[in-house]
Amino acid sequence: MPDKTALSAAEVPVPAAPPIATEAGPGPGKPRSLWSDAWHELRRNPLFLVSMVLIVILGAMAIFPSLFTSASPRDADLAKHYLQHPNWGNFFAPDWFGYDAQGRSIYARVIYGARASITVGIVVTVLVTFFGGLIGMLAGYFGGWLDSVLSRLTDVFFGIPFIVGAMVILTSFEERSVWVVILALAFLGWTQIARVARGSVITIKQADYVVAAKALGASTWRILIRHILPNAIAPVIVVATIALGGYIAAEATLSFLGIGLAPPTVSWGIDVSSAKDQLRNAPYVLMIPSVMVSLTVLSFLMFGDAVRNALDPKMR
């Protein structure tokens, strides 16, 4: 007769299996936002790191040029330094890149020329992003006759060739300072930002959280600032960062043509323009500021590409 106190096979407790070791990773928590996720991707992108190093160096040159050289970009000595060849072994010295046809240090002019070019690029980008984004946001959100008027206005400005229009504007000014060039470029450069912002706002305003905010009685400006703008700004930032390099190149082009910045302003475009006649005798006088323009534009284009890849999940 079986022992009633004995447990059957089905009733025998089975010890719990030890937990399977898994790869360590972040525990469950609050999901990352678009911006934190983009920053996580940017930190691992070599393109972003290289471009940021170059931009930081160029920014330091523009803000604190005296840290890189003690020479003046306007001091000239024709008798002693006329087209003197570079002294490549004398790093960071006034004669490192040689001297131009007026006896001025090319290295000093390269350092001080960064201020005008980068200032034009950054300030123009800020202005076109603000005004173009505002126009696009209003047109996309309100629609109707306001959208029609602003869209047609954008089309009119978009049909004006950028460089040709800037040339026409700048030739009407006797004194072409940095701010005159900035306003001329910003006056014509906001159209692309406006189109991108309009399309982004049209998509965002149909989201459920925007409809819910309207149903709860939120004001128009609260919806625009708190709900529309944070979610529609990403493509605008991408376009703006890529366009920044184009504005620097546009300033150099206008200065090369003699229509942009004018002496005594120190600019890479002015130096390229004054050195074009020395291409055969002293090519370094033209090549060095040209390389600086190309390097600066390339740095901001790489930065813009990295930001685009980080903000667009489809690119990852």
Give the range of the structural domain holding residue 144, as residue numbers without chain letter: 50-62+98-315
Say what the pLDDT of residue 94 is: 80
Nearest one of 182, 201, 189, 199 to 132, comparing CA atoms: 189
Quick check: is 35 in a domain?
no
Quick check: is 126 in a domain?
yes
Digit-coded pLDDT (tens) for 214-223: 888 888 888 8
Say what the pLDDT of residue 304 is: 86
Quick check: is 102 in a domain?
yes
Residue 46 has pLDDT above 60, yes or no: yes
Give the CATH number for residue 198.
1.10.3720.10
Say what the pLDDT of residue 127 is: 95
Q: Which helix (H) or strand (E) holds 181?
A: helix 178-188
Q: What is the mean pLDDT of the chain?
A: 83
pLDDT level of residue 60 (50, 70, 90 thresholds)? very high
pLDDT level of residue 35 (50, 70, 90 thresholds)? low
Cα separations in angstroms, 184 against 108, 127, 153, 245, 263: 28, 11, 17, 16, 18
Quick check: is 120 in a domain?
yes
Say what the pLDDT of residue 50 is: 92
Nearest one of 109, 113, 62 to 81, comparing CA atoms: 109
Percent of the chain topping pLDDT 70: 87
Query: Which residue carries 């493509």 as its tokens?
Result: 235
Quick check: is 130 in a domain?
yes
Of 104 and 42, the structure prediction assigns the larger pLDDT to 104
The residue length of the chain stands at 316
Q: Count the domains in the chain.
A: 1
Percent of the chain topping pLDDT 90: 34
pLDDT level of residue 34 (50, 70, 90 thresholds)? low
Quick check: is 299 in a domain?
yes
- The pair of three-digit structure tokens given for residue 88, joined into one six-digit string: 């490549």
Quick check: is 39 in a domain?
no
